[in-house]
Each structure stands twice: as structure tokens, then as C-alpha cells.
Amino acid sequence: MTDMIVPSFDDETPTGRKLAIICSKGNLDMAYPGLILANAAVGEGIETHLFFTFWGFDIINKATMSHLKFSFVGNTAMHPPGHAGIGIHHMLGALPGATAAATKMMKKQIADLDVPDVPEFLDLLHDSGAHLWACRMSADMNQLTEDDLYDGVEAIISATDFIELTDGAQLLFI
């Protein structure tokens, strides 16, 4: 018999750990790493901020967030799911229909793992208390306003604002 061990859930982050994730890419396969890591962080009680900028703006733009695509052009690691030894030449990805087929396949794999699609993932993050921010310059370049963005986005802010509010945070650039 030993003393009772109790997990220390609440005192592991006494200094208030913060995580800032900058999402700068709008491809389907580049959207998920940021979303998944943010979800993991917020579930660990970490204050989590996501900043969507440049092509990453497509992740929170209502017009595009359900239609992100995966292309394997330039991705020399491309192989069919579960067949790491079989290479597919990445330039085949330039053929008509290749992006649509690859996107469909990746979306199916993601759904098979019961991982939500992008809009539902944003709901999950928002409900979990993660902070979603949109980049001012990206909004201006695309002539978009907060009305065009996912409802859970807190505001369109400048890069300076984001740097200020993530003072002391660990940072990921994706």
C-alpha cells in the first residue's frame, strides 16, 4: 500500500502558460495542424490565441472555410493513405481533377477519425474558450469585414495588437 496519488490538474501552470498560433496557410492540410494543436492546448487549460493571416484567412472566411483544398503539387512526401512505400509523383497533382480527388480523399480520412470539418472545428475551439483573431491587413487586402468572417472571430486586429495580447506566449507559425 502506498499513499494516495492525486493528479495535479490545477497547479501545473502556475505562471499562466499562453500559446499563440499564427495560421498563414489556406490549404486543407495546413489548416488542421493549427486547429488540432489549439484544441489540445485549450483542453489543457492553456490560454490559446489563433491569428489568421494571409492565406490562413480562408480558414475563417465564411465563403471559403468549408471549401479548403489539398493539392500535392510540390509535396514529394505524397503517398496513398497507409502506403508510405508507394510514391506518387507530385506533378501528377497538376492534372485536372487531381486536387479535387486528393481533397475528397483527405476529407474522408479526417471524417473517418471523427475529427470535425473546419467550420465545426472552429465551433469546438470557440466553445472551448480559444481566442480567434483576424489579421487587419489580410481583411483590407481582401476587402472583407467582420460580417464576412466566422462568427466566433473576436475582432479584426493589427499585427501589433496581436503581439501585445500574446505577451509572454509560446508561439507557433504555421
Partner 1 sequence: MPTTTIAGRSVDLDAEGFLTNPDQWDEELAQTLAGNIGITLTDAHWVPIRFLRKDFETQKETATLRRISTVGGIPVKELFALFPGKPAKKMSYIAGLQKPKGCV
CA 57 to mean position of chain CA atoms: 11
CA distance between the termini of the chain = 48
- Binding residue (CB under 8 A) for partner 1 from 14, 77, 84, 114: 114
Do strands 18-23 and 131-135 pair parallel, antiparallel, or not at all (unpaired)?
unpaired
65 CB burial (10 A radius; 0-12, 13-18, 19+) = buried
Closer to partner 1 by CB, 5 or 86: give it. Answer: 5
CA trace torsion 24, 26, 27, 31 (10° rounding): 70
* Residues 51-110 close enough to bind partner 1 by CB under 8 A: none
Q: Is 115 in the site for partner 1 (CB under 8 A)?
A: yes
Q: Is 129 in the site for partner 1 (CB under 8 A)?
A: yes
Separation of alpha carbons 61 and 163, rounded Å: 22
- Binding residue (CB under 8 A) for partner 1 from 73, 107, 116, 161: 116
Q: Is 15 in the site for partner 1 (CB under 8 A)?
A: no
- Binding residue (CB under 8 A) for partner 1 from 77, 84, 86, 113: 113
Candidates 35-43, 51-59, 98-106, 133-141: pick the segment binding partner 1 (CB under 8 A).
35-43
Candidates 54-62, 84-92, 114-122, 140-148: pick the segment binding partner 1 (CB under 8 A).
114-122
Candidates 75-83, 95-103, 125-133, 136-144: pick the segment binding partner 1 (CB under 8 A).
125-133
- Binding residue (CB under 8 A) for partner 1 from 76, 109, 128, 158: 128
125 CB burial (10 A radius; 0-12, 13-18, 19+) = buried
- Binding residue (CB under 8 A) for partner 1 from 78, 124, 132, 144: 124
Sorted by sequence, the CB contacts under 8 Å of residue 63 that are 6+ apart come out as 148
